[in-house]
Amino acid sequence: MSHAVLGQDNGLGDSLIRSKVVNLALLNTGVCEVPVNRGKVIDKYRSVALDRKISGYTDPWCAYFIGYIYKSYGIDTKKVLGNGYIARAADWFKNKNRIVYQKGIGYQRKRKPKAGDVVGYKFTSGRISHVGILIEWNELDGYALVVEGNTTPRNSVTRDENKNDCVRLKKRPISMIYVVSNIIE
């Protein structure tokens, strides 16, 4: 299944980077942790995101996955996103100049979310507790396709038998998304 749903070039030449980010995120779907919150590829996500060799960590890895994807294309995620640890994910969305959508407020920066933007969720904790990379924003039908690391099979576009958390393409109701931030431009 191919999802090359990209925003129009905004004059800043970011369409190529967005395309690469989306494609690499999609290529990583199916990578799963073994055991919980661990694995060789998961350690690679952490190491690239943090610019140092990491192994044996057991903390949630969705934010490290995001850092890995962006850093693979030269986007300095430490400057934009912080250290990649999910407990700090709220810091990723503090720069109001980068927010393009926020629940209860709507669209900002005179544009809608584009493929390659970062999506933040508030589940039960009252804080941003999960992140992903936007693939498609379908306002008309009320959903977004998002590639997320460290996520369960629930709401996945493709079904798999793996019970562990993996990188998966998810179809989420837009109402579930708390904030979308642009870190590419």
| Cβ atoms of residues 62 and 81 within 8 Å | no
Quick one: tokens of 171?
Answer: 């179809």
Tens digits of residue pLDDT in 67-76 = 899 889 888 7
| Cβ atoms of residues 65 and 28 within 8 Å | yes
Read off the pLDDT band of 108 (50, 70, 90): confident
| Distance from C-alpha of 184 to C-alpha of 140, rounded to nearest angstrom | 25
* Cut 0.75: pTM above it: yes
Three-class secondary structure of residue 121 per DSSP: strand
Read off the pLDDT band of 54 (50, 70, 90): confident
Three-class secondary structure of residue 42 per DSSP: helix
Over range 45-67, report the average pLDDT. Answer: 85
Q: Phi first, then psi: what are they for 7, rounded to 5°?
A: -70, 160
Look at 4-13, 61-70, 78-87 and tell me which has the smallest mean pLDDT.
4-13
Query: Cα 59–60–66 angle (5° rounding)?
Result: 125
Quick one: tokens of 155?
Answer: 């709401």
Read off the pLDDT band of 120 (50, 70, 90): very high
Give CA separation, 137 vs 20, 38, 81, 129, in Å.
17, 31, 22, 21
Read off the pLDDT band of 4 (50, 70, 90): very low
- Helix H or strand E encompassing 118: strand 118-122
Give the model's pLDDT for residue 137: 97
Residue 139 predicted with pLDDT over 50: yes
Residue 1 predicted with pLDDT over 50: no
| Distance from C-alpha of 48 to C-alpha of 64, rounded to nearest angstrom | 8
SS3 string of 123-174? CCCCCEEEEEEEEEEECCCCEEEEEEEEECCCCECCCCCCCCCEEEEEEEEH
Over range 34-41, report the average pLDDT. Answer: 91
Give the model's pLDDT for residue 141: 96
